[in-house]
Amino acid sequence: MTYKVFLHPDVHAFIQSLDEKSQRIVKNKLRTLREEPYKKGKKLAPTRFFRLRLTDNLRAIYEIVEKEEKVIVLVVDYRRNIYDDFRRLL
């Protein structure tokens, strides 16, 4: 099954703020969520969200909407900030 990957507008803006090499790495890593998003990331217990390591310093938090076959990337940020940003979404 192939999923569609959607980016939150803040995620899109964050990726655009990165240098070209980092943008390319992040985009390629996020594309991998199209196939088997459950296996690509790790579950953030006890929530319905997952995290994905993009680079040594960057992480993504995403949600899988199974019945619509889509992945929604909610946050991309530096490792030191990502969980604080995520808590604000909850």
pTM exceeding 0.85: yes
Q: What is the residue-level pLDDT of the chain in tens, covering all 90 positions?
A: 899 999 999 999 999 999 999 999 999 999 999 999 999 999 998 889 999 999 999 999 999 999 999 999 999 999 988 877 677 766
**Would you give the distance in Å from CA 15 to the centre of its chain?**
11
SS3 62: strand
Q: What is the pLDDT of residue 87?
A: 73
CA separation for the pair 7, 3 (Å, rounded): 13
CATH classification at residue 12: 3.30.2310.20
Domain count, the chain: 1
Q: What is the pLDDT of residue 89?
A: 67
Q: What is the pLDDT of residue 41?
A: 94
Domain limits at 63?
4-89
